[in-house]
Structure 1
Amino acid sequence: MLLNLASLCHPSRTAFWQRNRPARIYAIDAVVCWPEHRYGQAPDVFTRHRYCWVVWSPDHHGAPSFGWLSAGDFRSG
């Protein structure tokens, strides 16, 4: 699930995260869902936010692993 990074640390969501621990969380360094080829540069309102991929696995138990993704890697290929 693509989520705003702030959703991981919002007080109203703490209980959810404790009950539904993801297997992996990947921080993304830039907006990846804005079609620049179609609309040009993303507006400031989008670039001010940071996003993460959160992955759940039915057989996962324990703390999630954490990693980083670079949007540039996806745009260059």
Structure 2
Amino acid sequence: MPTDIMVALISLAGSGVGAFVGIIASAKLTNYRLEQLEKKVDKHNTVIERTFKLEEVQAVMQEQLKVANHRIADIEERGA
């Protein structure tokens, strides 16, 4: 087998291995970045959920405060 052909085959094999390793490294980096983004999204979603619950509680408390103010006003009117 001529030397030129052997060098070409070795270069081809080296290029193939290099490309394969590059693809694997890129896939690992992409997966890592996706995992980090998923963690951020999970944190964001929990904040949104907690905020929604707090807003619900606040609405209930405001309604209770209105009822209490009406009761106080009624008591004051009866006493006056």
| Superposition TM-score, scaled by structure 1 size | 0.17
Instruction: Select the structure that is richer in strand.
Output: 1
| Superposition TM-score, scaled by structure 2 size | 0.17
Decide which structure has the larger Cα Rg and report it.
2
Greater relative contact order, per chain length (Cα 8 Å cut-off, separation 6+): 1
Instruction: Select the structure that is richer in helix.
Output: 2
